[in-house]
C-alpha cells in the first residue's frame, strides 16, 4: 500500500498503533507487514512535514527581509 498524502499515511500509522494496542497476544505473523507499512507511512509523513517546515522558513525569511527593507527605506 503506497500512501500519497499525509492524511492517508497518518491514518495508516493510527490504525497500526491501535491494532497493536488492542492485541491481547502479539501476532508475529502480521508484525512484519505492520512494521513495513508503518515505516513507509512514517517516511511519507516526515517528508510532508519537512516540506512544510522549509516552506514556512522561506516565507518567514522573506517576510523578515521585507520588514527590514521597509524599515531601512523609512529611515530614522
- 25's grid cell: 497476544
Q: What is the pLDDT of residue 72?
A: 66
Please say if the pLDDT value at position 73 is more than 80.
no
Domain containing 48 equals: 6-74
DSSP summary character for residue 2: -
- pLDDT by residue (tens digit) across 10-21? 999 999 999 999
Do the domain assignments include residue 58? yes
Do the domain assignments include residue 1? no
Can you tell me the distance from the alpha carbon of 58 to that of 10, in angstroms, rounded to the nearest whole number?
25
Please say if the pLDDT value at position 76 is more than 90.
no
Q: What is the pLDDT of residue 64?
A: 84
Do the domain assignments include residue 51? yes
Q: How many domains does the chain have?
A: 1
- pLDDT by residue (tens digit) across 29-62? 899 999 999 999 999 999 999 999 999 999 999 8
Amino acid at each position: 500500500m503506497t500512501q500519497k498524502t499525509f492524511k492517508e499515511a497518518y491514518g495508516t500509522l493510527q490504525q497500526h498503533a491501535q491494532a497493536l494496542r488492542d492485541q491481547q497476544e502479539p501476532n508475529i505473523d502480521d508484525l512484519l507487514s505492520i512494521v513495513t507499512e508503518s515505516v513507509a507511512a512514517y517516511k511519507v509523513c516526515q517528508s510532508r512535514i519537512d516540506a512544510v517546515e522549509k516552506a514556512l522558513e522561506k516565507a518567514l525569511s522573506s517576510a523578515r527581509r521585507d520588514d527590514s527593507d521597509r524599515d531601512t527605506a523609512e529611515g530614522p
